[in-house]
């Protein structure tokens, strides 16, 4: 394979690898957001009134002076007072599972392109260091 063809192949693989890494970062970012939203939904399912009735806030406030109360935190995290349900948590878990599956496919693709690029770089090096006129015979 001529040196220019190998160089073009390496350039194309580098570009593909960069794009795949960008997509992988985007998927991982979305997974973190979905997981955080799921955590928030689960936390919202915890009955704040029940925690207050048990005096948990008073106990924590005694341990950590000036710590925010559960009610303050809830108001900050859920200003619109969205209602979370076990179904919403399940939906978020399903969304995360789909994202995880996609992340795995993108990761596999990144590894494949990386292997191809390493192979092409090796071929490029062999072509650039081979003696003029071909092989010794």
Helix H or strand E encompassing 30: helix 3-45
Rounded to whole angstroms, how far apart are CA atoms 41 and 92? 9
Token pair for 105? 């496919």
pLDDT digits (tens, 9 = 90+) for 73-84: 667 666 665 667
pLDDT digits (tens, 9 = 90+) for 32-50: 998 998 888 887 777 666 6
Contact 20, 110 (CB under 8 A): yes
The CA–CA distances, whole Å, from 105 to 4, 27, 39, 83, 132 equal 31, 11, 25, 34, 42
Per-domain boundaries in the chain: 3-129
End-to-end CA distance of the chain: 19
pTM passes above 0.75:
no
- Region 53-69: mean pLDDT is 58
What is the average pLDDT score of the chain? 80
């Amino acid at each position: 394979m001529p040196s220019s063809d190998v160089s073009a192949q390496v350039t194309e693989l580098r570009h593909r690898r960069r794009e795949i890494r960008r997509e992988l970062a985007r998927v991982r970012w979305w997974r973190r957001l979905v997981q955080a939203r799921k955590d928030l939904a689960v936390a919202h399912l915890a009955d704040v009134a029940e925690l207050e009735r048990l005096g948990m806030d008073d106990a924590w406030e005694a341990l950590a002076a000036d710590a925010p109360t559960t009610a303050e935190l809830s108001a900050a995290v859920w200003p619109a007072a969205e209602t979370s349900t076990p179904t919403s948590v399940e939906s978020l878990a399903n969304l995360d599972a789909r994202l995880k599956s996609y992340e795995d496919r993108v990761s596999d693709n990144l590894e494949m392109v990386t292997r191809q690029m390493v192979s092409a770089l090796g071929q490029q090096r062999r072509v650039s260091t081979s003696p003029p006129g071909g092989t010794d015979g």
